[in-house]
Chain A
Amino acid sequence: MDLFRPKGSSMKYLPALGALTICLPLLGCGTDERTFTPWVLEELRGDAGFTLRMPEYEVPPSKDSQNCYFVRVPDIADGGDVWIDRIETAINPGSHHMNVFRVKTIKNLRPEDGTPVMLGDYEGTVIEGGDDFDHNPCWVSPNWSDWPLVANSQKSDVDDTKTNWQLPGAVAIRLTPGEMLMVQTHYANHTDQPAEFGARVGINFHSYKRSPPPVEMGTLFATKQSIRVCQSRPTPTYSGTCRFPNAATITAANGHFHQRGERFAIYPWDGASIDHPPESSMFYESLSWDEPPMAINLAVPAPINTGIWWDCDYRWSPPTVETCADVNAKDPLQENDCCYTFGGNTDVGEHCNVFLYYYPKVESDVFCL
């Protein structure tokens, strides 16, 4: 198993920068600012694959910013399916997530409502969600509740902006020319995920060119939506299960939660027991909400009628930017206990999401909502 892990120390930079600002004129301190080398990805053209580039923009300090970009899969295989077996991403530091979805049922997040934008060589549209997590359709998750995941990255590291995910063997993602994709970028320019170099995301989809017929990869998205992390009950754990429709092999996984997340763990589940799987069987663990690892090159067997079990452990802490009044305002139960509930903003909402990749995809991508 390989893990895309953060390099270096945790990202508590802003206090350090603040101290630097103060002490520099007084003491003539040495420089300790973050340095960043802008990333470069090759441009894929023709049958090599295709390249998407989300334009650079600034994220206001202490603000979240979520954008939804829409683009159609280009026809690079003479009208045939587009098979992808390598995903490269390059993401400016401070990213909270970058998800690529297939657009299915349209609710209130409509590609045609977006502003035209060029995503590299391809025309697309963008709906800029800013930090309007209460109202903007790019923040309202029911709008993409049945949109299967294609790929994702949670890399946020200033020293390591790229991922290069080669799928195993003949495994590949099948895309259809003209199929609408949505690339969702989320930056949270807070203390733990500073985005002082601006938001900028690039993705390369490399074509499958090997000789065996490709084996289609499927994705599994699972979430706990009724989470509550409350001041008076500060260390809850939420667990769930999700079954595969067929015998499968798990090849990659990552977990996603927010600032109150302490530990995210995923296990194989036999589908026959409601007891917690043994710790020794765990194949994914994240102890870092702001730089969660992505496990790749897994080979976890999931026989027929089995699935996964996952745990999300939390520890309550006060909001870092907003206030408990803001947290209470979005609590549907109005308990006035500073309870973090399901929501996309990292300071006032929480998540407990599994992004998992498996093969072969037989019937459908898998959702456990």
Chain B
Amino acid sequence: MRLALLCAIWIAGCDGGDGSVVDSGVGDADESGDAVDAFVYKPCPIGELTTPAELQIVNFDAAKAIERTQPSQEIALHPAPQGGWMAVIGARARNLDGCSVKLTAAIVDAVDGQIIGVDRRDTRLVVDTDGWGQSSPDTFTNLQVCPQLTSTRDMHGQPYIFKVIVEDADGRKATAEVTAVPRCPPGVNFCTCECDRDYVLGSTCS
């Protein structure tokens, strides 16, 4: 188990090299097999912490490559293991502690302003060559888009507002939003069926 601890520290150290989370074998196992509560938090500032935090929205495209989310663009919907279709949304940010960021994404009806859904999780910002920190792919939000029992419009091919917030442990916070169009994978009728306004779970999609 000592070896595992050393490995964990080594791995964590490597993460620190790109400006992401660093810890000291948090939750590793000791000889008894119990988790070790030896968390040593080490912040990893990205940019200048004395200036306001900045944020850009990014998303997975259809091939799961990361792209900057632009106004009016299409946002690819991805299937989830137990059903449903997700927009995979992340953050590019700077001027905050990239090791303690809570990432919140919401999909908002652009017509009536209703918040359709929210996903919040810890994200790990990895410093890019331009000095911004970008959510590691495994810490993007998975924002459920369909099916959506309470929607008043189709959830595909229609514009919706994607709102994103990042906030670090010290309260540095930035908000951004963009209006974009969720899009089912081409030819996947099951997706468009489940994303139709009048779809009810359990009904048949041919």
A residues bordering B, Cβ < 8 Å?
Answer: 102, 104-105, 141-142, 145-148, 223-226, 228, 231-245, 269, 271-274, 276, 305, 309, 315-318, 320, 333, 335, 337, 339, 342, 363-369
Contacts and interface: CB of A to CB of B under 8 A. Distances in A.
Contact of B117 (A235, A237, A241): A241
Given A233-B21, A271-B115, A245 B83 contact: no
B174 interface: no
Interface of B: 8, 11-12, 15, 21, 23, 26-29, 33-35, 39, 80-84, 86, 104, 106, 114-122, 124, 137-139, 142, 144, 147, 149-150, 163, 165, 200-202, 204
Given A226-B142, A342-B82, A232 B8 contact: yes
Contacts, number: 139
A237 B201 contact: no
Nearest to B106: A274
Given A233-B122, A236-B121, A316-B27, A272 B83 contact: no
- The dominant DSSP class at the A interface is loop
13 contacts: A105-B204, A142-B83, A232-B12, A239-B118, A239-B120, A240-B120, A245-B150, A271-B115, A274-B104, A274-B165, A276-B120, A305-B114, A369-B84
B149 A271 contact: no
Nearest to B82: A141
Given A239-B118, A239-B121, A271-B115, A363 B104 contact: no
B29 to A, nearest CB: 4
A238 B120 contact: yes
Contacts of A142: 81-83
Contact of A226 (B80, B114, B163): B80
A237 B114 CA distance: 25
- Listed residue (B81, B119, B139) with the most chain A CB atoms within 10 angstroms of its CB: B81
Contacts of B201: 104, 146, 148, 364-365, 367
A236 B86 CA distance: 20
